[in-house]
Amino acid sequence: MEGDRAAPDTMASMSERIHYDEFGLFHENAAEYGLPFDAPPVVRRESVSLADGRAVSALVWGETEPELVFVHGGSQNAHTWDTTIMALGRSAIAVDLPGHGHSDWRDDGAYSPANLADDVAVAVAALAPTARTVVGMSLGGLTSLQLAVRHAHLVRSLVMIDITPGVNASKTKAIIDFVSGPQSFPSFESLLERTIEHNPTRTISSLRRGILHNARQLDDGSWQWRYDRRGHGRSSTPPAMSGADAPAASTTSDAPAEAPALSPMWDDFGSVACPLVLVRGALSPVVDDDDVAEARRRRPDLVVHLVEGAGHSVQGDRPLELAELVAASLG
């Protein structure tokens, strides 16, 4: 789609208001990836209350008991999975992590995988207690790993996308360089231009859609990311690089800036009782060969897939291929 790479000279100026309907963009996903679109998919937003008064928000796809749970990466939101879920055609929920999307922020700003897992568990128990597979990407993958450790009854099989406990700041430098940018932008055009600069392989339409899902326009016409950026710059858990449906920002973690070669979370990786699949983006530096070797040592039964042409956000770069791999995990 070479023509789609043209400069966004028709984008909104600072004073122009842009209409946003989070359920009104699915036809774009379908058109971009050649999916059938006879009618909009059945999707609704649900909110689940936590004991401390906060709420976790999620998209519920379909009208039957959800088979799948999707957990996005840091700085993303539930809409990053739209194309993959549409391609699957299965009932599912896609959770907005606390501090992201429409979920409430934590007062303490402590978005560690363990803390996130405890919050996500409440939402999964309420909305998808019998789901067959949990799919987590980046920070969402580590959160899903902790979900399987701390709330094992909710995770019958686990798919981790481009993440292992071997993640560290050096592997995620390019991602952090992008997400360490401004929180606010004077116009939609300025936000889009910066996103295009750091995502040269994506179409403008996908990046525009992602921004609409992951940022909000203020009364003065300027734009801000939706997520909680507290703790910015001290995380070794990579925020997800700008996916087709979720341009990124930063997130926090309780881990040090450089995670040790053998993180304590490797023990959790090896102890999870359910089947485990690792999906790796061929163009991503976040999971390297040493990580895969350690993962196989800890889990000899591990299934590993390498997705060609995909970077860190496999769901953004190769959503249809990912849908095939997720479907295969269901048996």
Residue positions annotated with a catalytic role: 138, 162, 312
Q: Which two tokens stand for residue 55?
A: 């709420």
Residue appearing with tokens 């363990």: 114
Residue appearing with tokens 């990580």: 291
For residue 13, give the DSSP letter: -
Q: How many CB atoms lie within 10 A of CB 178?
A: 20
CA distances from 291 to 162, 163, 204, 229, 269 (A): 10, 9, 33, 28, 12
Rounded to whole angstroms, the Cα distance separating 57 from 54 reads: 10
Helix spans in 128-203 (H): 139-150, 173-179, 188-198
34: Cβ contacts below 8 Å, ≥ 6 apart: none
Mutual orientation of helices 188-198 and 204-214 as an angle, nearest 10°? 120
Specify whether the CB–CB gap between 154 and 129 falls below 8 A: yes
CA distances from 236 to 132, 167, 227, 240, 257 (A): 30, 7, 18, 12, 5
Best CA proximity match to 327, nearest among 67, 136, 27, 153: 67
